[in-house]
Amino acid sequence: MLDERMQNALNEQINWEIYSSYLYFSMSAYFESISLKGFANWMRVQAMEELTHVKRFYNYVIERGGRVLFSEIKSPPNEWESPLHAFQEVIEHEKQVTSRINSLMDLAIELRDHATTSFLKWFIDEQVEEEASADEIIQSLKLNENNPGGLFLIDKDLAQRTFIPPQDIGI
């Protein structure tokens, strides 16, 4: 059974992961509106990954005898100054997610909740990957800031990303 504080914190994270998906779908729509289909694809895949995170947290709370409670999700932005600006927001958002996951781990350790500590390890590793992926795109965008043709090469590369539903959470 989950400690009440842990259940509340996990519910907050579920809602934060939903917001993350909402944000990335909004970014995808932005990129569609400026004809960067590869960037839009990358964001759609990212949005779907965030929904798998929701499902992982949701399933975990249920498996531990907890109750999932949803709260209001704020609206994400709809416009960005440039692709670089959008990805700078991505990395800042992912850093916030990392901080939130680390706080969940701190709480699990404080509560001596070894099951939740084990569960959160996957997310800690995932956040390293999330930040590195966003930073790699930022570096490419910076290198091509004065080269419009480079933007289209990056767009073509980002179009290759595919969403592969994880089998372990039933999606």
Q: What is the mean pLDDT of residues 73-91?
A: 97
CA distances from 49 to 4, 123, 145, 149, 164 (A): 27, 12, 28, 29, 9
CA distance 129 to 27: 20
What pLDDT, on a 0 to 100 scale, did the predictor assign at position 166?
81
The tens digit of pLDDT for each residue in 114-165 reads: 999 999 999 999 999 999 999 999 999 999 988 889 999 999 999 999 998 8
CB burial of residue 144 (10 Å; 0-12, 13-18, 19+):
middle
CA distance 13 to 11: 5
CA distance 150 to 144: 5
8 A C-beta contact, residue 140 and residue 146: no
CA distance 62 to 161: 31
The tens digit of pLDDT for each residue in 5-35 reads: 999 999 999 999 999 999 999 999 999 999 9
Domains within the chain, CATH numbers bracketed: 4-166 (1.20.1260.10)
Pull the structure tokens for residue 89. 């927001």
The tens digit of pLDDT for each residue in 26-63 reads: 999 999 999 999 999 999 999 999 999 999 999 999 99
Q: List helix spans (H) across the chain.
A: 4-33, 37-63, 83-110, 114-143, 148-158
Residue 169 clears pLDDT 80, i.e. is over it:
no
What pLDDT, on a 0 to 100 scale, did the predictor assign at position 164?
87
- CA–chain centroid gap for 56, Å, is 13
With bands split at pLDDT 50, 70 and 90, how would you rate the model's confidence at 100?
Answer: very high
If you ran DSSP here, which 8-state letter would residue 82 be given? S
